[in-house]
């Protein structure tokens, strides 16, 4: 399939186009119909009539943007008309929704008269919270945006102008820092003098570039004092008239520090680049083919820093890093405009974010490892979810500070709301992290020589989540940290081979297990294993929790902890569970990792422990004891075991909402329960699922994660004497941070109550009963 066929098939597949309107309120019966439309809809209408601000309370206006074009400058295709530009506008709408959860109407205006576009947009003000102008030719686009900004009370933003300016501005700041150049003295050459180039040049001036140091070239060459070629200059180009002897791009680039290309492929040659100043900065942003490719630049200038508009090269200047998050911040404070202060805030937020550690999950999207700030990483990746959390708050606060916001925001609470917009899982994890930050605990990491663990530890320190302790050879850890550029500030390093605690821990282990065949010398040897040493640290109170498993199998990780720390006296049963999060639901699954074939008594204990964790996470448990049978429909020992477990759990805690045995569809479908099993104590969808054996639990959570798209948080180990949690083998840095937050919360809860948060009661787990 050719690229053209592939693109056409993508747009035609299924429902044509890329967007759809999705209802946000139920419409399932006559009552819903009466509320959604006549007569009930009259009430919000009257409320808005009495108080126009209520439109943001009762309608979607506050989260709705119009993407408006007349199709006069679509991509690099030129004036192809409004109708032909519609796929681009739908694509823009898709990006708004995917990256910042903003709803969009794409509106194509069938007129090339700028006054028609202006009038059309003005008439939209009651409908939308903001307007994104798109693909309108220069100089008309300047006139349209200026007029709308002056006459309307909602944000109006021409992304073709300002998007490139904001994102490339961030890249410029960081490139100048890396190259050691002063923004006030650098000479900048622009190839191209359209809307994007002029707006970018103006933005650079506000960042600190001297206007007289900017040379701009259009199709007729350098824009210089007294030029007659190319006809009269419009007032926007005229701002960049220079007195210079340079007449073309090649002349202008001699000794220049920065090149910004917003023109066409091949506009710059190797010979031109070779004549630039030392450590040149080259932004070749023409799409799909840049003015000069990075390979061509490298052939003549190994000291150059290069950015393009393409995803297959480092430093992609992509407008999606800007407009979704700028509008998110503007809408959330109900800004009356997007002013220069807000654009500047976006630029500086992007520049600062690029200097932070890059999560492995983000780097993996681009097939990269060990990404860090430098010549090949000037700005964040478009698919980095942290961009929303950095840019939107910066823009929102700039709107408040500059006096164009109609709503004030609490920045910390605002970040939490943004986390939720990225998905319910992020909102839940953010809640855990917030709790951890209130009272950080000491977390020991036996795999301290693993770079992922080191990166996670650095994040834990920076975010105030935990006090990490890395186990391993100090020299090796420090060398790896230097190699991967991981700061070790405030991170404790403990070497099990040389620690002063070794002899104390050896005697502790020997006394603990001398009647299970362990000699003192064997205890000393076992302490070279980080999991044994870390378990001793937790057992002896030198650390509050242990987190391990990223490089080893589950039994290897948990066995030392069970031997050294053991299950809680009031529990005696250790089990494992996962929290699975979708956009609409949170479900806890147990046992997914420890007990192979638990008895009815053990299942009741596992369910009770799962209910406690659910409450710790702020979710009221509704427990389903799962089987292939519904309430006695099949007579079989496995089904009867689940029914018996249900009875035992109800006896232990009559306040719990629990029922079974039942099939999974009944547990997850309230309508089925109401229709077929009205006697069930479950009236809503179950959110704690207890499986009859380890095979069922382990298979089910993995299917939900990989096929159902649920985010899996875990495994959460339940029932240990002290906090011990296991990482999935190969876990990402963010997964490690998330599980560290779980461990901290666990340790906090144990400090606040006599019985630990993550425990149950019962005999030892089947899989480890012989340890």
Of the residues 61, 92, 237, 452, only one is catalytic, namely 92
Residues 189 and 259 sit within 8 Å (Cβ to Cβ) = yes
Give the angle subtended at the CA of 754 by the CAs of 579 and 735, to the nearest 5°.
25
Q: For residue 143, how many other CB atoms are within 10 A of its CB? A: 18
303-308 long-range contacts, CB within 8 A, separation 24+: 303/278, 303/279, 304/273, 304/276, 304/279, 304/280, 305/175, 305/178, 305/179, 305/279, 305/280, 305/281, 305/375, 305/378, 306/282, 307/168, 307/171, 307/175, 307/282, 307/283, 307/378, 307/379, 308/283, 308/284
Cα separation values, 58 from 52, 116, 285, 405, 759, Å: 10, 30, 43, 20, 45
**389, 390, 393, 398: CA torsion to nearest 10:** -170
- Report which of 347, 365, 426 is spatially closest to residue 162, judged by C-alpha positions: 347
463 burial level (CB within 10 Å; 0-12, 13-18, 19+): middle
Catalytic, out of 37, 57, 58, 674: 37
Integer Cα distance of 693 and 308 in angstroms: 54
What does DSSP assign to residue 607? H
Q: Give catalytic status of residue 37 as yes or no.
A: yes
Residue 365, token pair as written in the block? 């999207």
C-alpha closest to that of 583 among 1, 98, 78:
98
- Report the candidate in 184, 420, 381 with the shortest Cα–Cα distance to residue 371: 381
Beta strands across the sheet bearing 281-284: 221-222, 214-218, 188-191, 258-261, 281-284, 305-308
Which among 625, 579, 512 has a CA at the least distance from the CA of 742?
579
**Exposure pattern of 364-395 as b/e (b: 16+ CB <10 Å)?**
eebeeeebebebebbbbbbebbbbbbbbbbbb
Partners of 215 in the beta sheet?
A: 189
39 prior amide bond cis, ω within 30 = yes
Verify whether residue 770 is a known catalytic residue.
Answer: no
The secondary structure of 616-658 as a DSSP string is HTT---EEEEE-SSSTTSS--HHHHHHHHHHHHHHHH-TTSEE
- Residues classed as catalytic: 37, 92
């Amino acid at each position: 399939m050719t690229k053209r066929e592939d693109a056409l098939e993508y747009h035609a597949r299924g429902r044509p186009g890329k967007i759809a309107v999705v209802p946000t309120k139920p419409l399932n019966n006559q009552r819903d119909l009466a509320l959604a439309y006549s007569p009930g809809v009259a009430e919000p209408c009257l409320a808005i009539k009495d108080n126009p601000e209520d439109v943001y309370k009762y309608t979607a206006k506050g989260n709705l943007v119009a993407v408006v074009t007349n199709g006069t400058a679509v991509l690099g295709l030129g004036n192809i008309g409004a109708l032909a530009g519609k796929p681009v506008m739908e694509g823009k709408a898709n990006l708004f929704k995917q990256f910042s959860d903003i709803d969009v109407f794409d509106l194509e205006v069938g007129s090339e008269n700028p006054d028609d576009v202006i009038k059309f947009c003005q008439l939209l003000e009651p409908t939308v919270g903001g307007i994104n102008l798109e693909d309108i030719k220069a100089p008309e686009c300047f006139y349209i945006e200026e007029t709308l900004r002056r006459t309307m009370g909602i944000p109006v933003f021409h992304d073709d102008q300002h998007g490139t300016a904001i994102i490339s501005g961030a890249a410029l700041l960081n490139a100048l820092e890396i190259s050691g150049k002063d923004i006030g003295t650098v000479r900048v050459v622009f190839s191209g003098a359209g809307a994007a180039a002029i707006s970018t040049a103006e933005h650079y001036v506000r960042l600190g570039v001297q206007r007289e140091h900017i040379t701009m070239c259009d199709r007729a060459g350098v824009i210089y004092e007294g030029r007659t070629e190319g006809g009269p200059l419009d007032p926007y180009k005229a701002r960049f008239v220079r007195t210079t002897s340079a007449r073309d791009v090649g002349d202008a680039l001699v000794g220049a520090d920065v090149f910004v290309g917003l023109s066409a492929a091949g506009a710059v040659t190797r010979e031109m680049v070779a004549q630039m100043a030392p450590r040149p900065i080259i932004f070749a942003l023409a799409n799909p083919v840049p003015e000069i490719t990075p390979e061509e630049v490298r052939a003549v200038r190994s000291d150059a820093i290069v950015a393009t508009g393409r995803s297959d090269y480092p430093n992609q200047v992509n407008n999606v890093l800007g407009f979704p998050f700028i509008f998110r911040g503007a809408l959330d404070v109900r800004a009356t405009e997007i002013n220069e202060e807000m654009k500047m805030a976006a630029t500086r937020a992007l520049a600062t974010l690029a200097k932070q550690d890059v999560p492995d999950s983000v780097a993996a999207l681009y097939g990269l490892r060990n990404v860090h700030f430098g010549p090949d990483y000037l700005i964040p990746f478009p698919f980095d979810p942290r961009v929303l959390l950095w840019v939107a708050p910066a823009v929102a606060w700039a709107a408040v500070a500059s006096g164009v916001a109609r709503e004030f925001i609490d920045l910390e609470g605002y970040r939490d709301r943004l986390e939720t917009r990225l998905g319910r899982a992020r909102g839940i994890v953010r809640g855990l992290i917030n709790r951890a930050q209130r009272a950080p605990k000491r977390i020991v990491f036996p795999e301290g020589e693993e770079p992922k663990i080191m990166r996670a530890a650095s994040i834990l320190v920076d975010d105030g989540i935990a006090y990490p302790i890395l186990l391993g050879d100090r020299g090796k850890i420090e060398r790896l940290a230097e190699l991967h550029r991981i700061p070790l500030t405030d991170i404790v390093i403990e070497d099990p081979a040389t620690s002063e605690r070794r002899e104390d821990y050896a005697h502790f282990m020997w006394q603990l297990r001398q009647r299970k065949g362990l000699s003192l010398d064997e205890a000393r040897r076992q302490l070279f294993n980080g999991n044994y040493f870390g378990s001793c640290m937790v057992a002896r109170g030198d650390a509050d929790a242990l987190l391990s498993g990223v490089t080893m199998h589950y039994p290897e990780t948990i066995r030392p902890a069970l031997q050294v720390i053991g299950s809680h006296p009031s529990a005696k049963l250790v089990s494992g569970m996962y929290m699975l999060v979708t956009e609409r639901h949170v479900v806890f699954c147990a046992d997914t990792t420890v007990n192979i074939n638990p008895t009815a008594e053990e299942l009741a204990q596992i369910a009770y422990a799962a209910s406690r964790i659910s409450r710790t996470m702020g979710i009221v448990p509704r427990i389903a004891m799962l089987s292939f049978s519904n309430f006695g429909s099949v007579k079989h020992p496995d089904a009867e075991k689940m029914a018996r477990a249900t009875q035992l759990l109800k006896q232990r805690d009559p306040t719990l909402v629990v029922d079974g045995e039942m099939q999974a569809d009944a547990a997850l479908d309230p309508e089925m329960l109401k229709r077929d099993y009205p006697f069930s104590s479950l009236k809503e969808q179950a959110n704690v699922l207890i499986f009859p054996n380890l095979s069922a639990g382990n298979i089910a959570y993995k299917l939900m994660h990989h096929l159902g798209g649920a985010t899996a948080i875990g495994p959460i180990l339940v029932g240990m004497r002290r906090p011990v949690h296991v990482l999935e083998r190969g876990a990402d840095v963010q997964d490690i941070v998330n599980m560290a937050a779980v461990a901290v919360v666990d340790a906090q809860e144990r400090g606040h109550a006599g019985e630990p948060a993550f425990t149950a009661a019962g005999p030892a787990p089947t899989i480890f009963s012989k340890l």
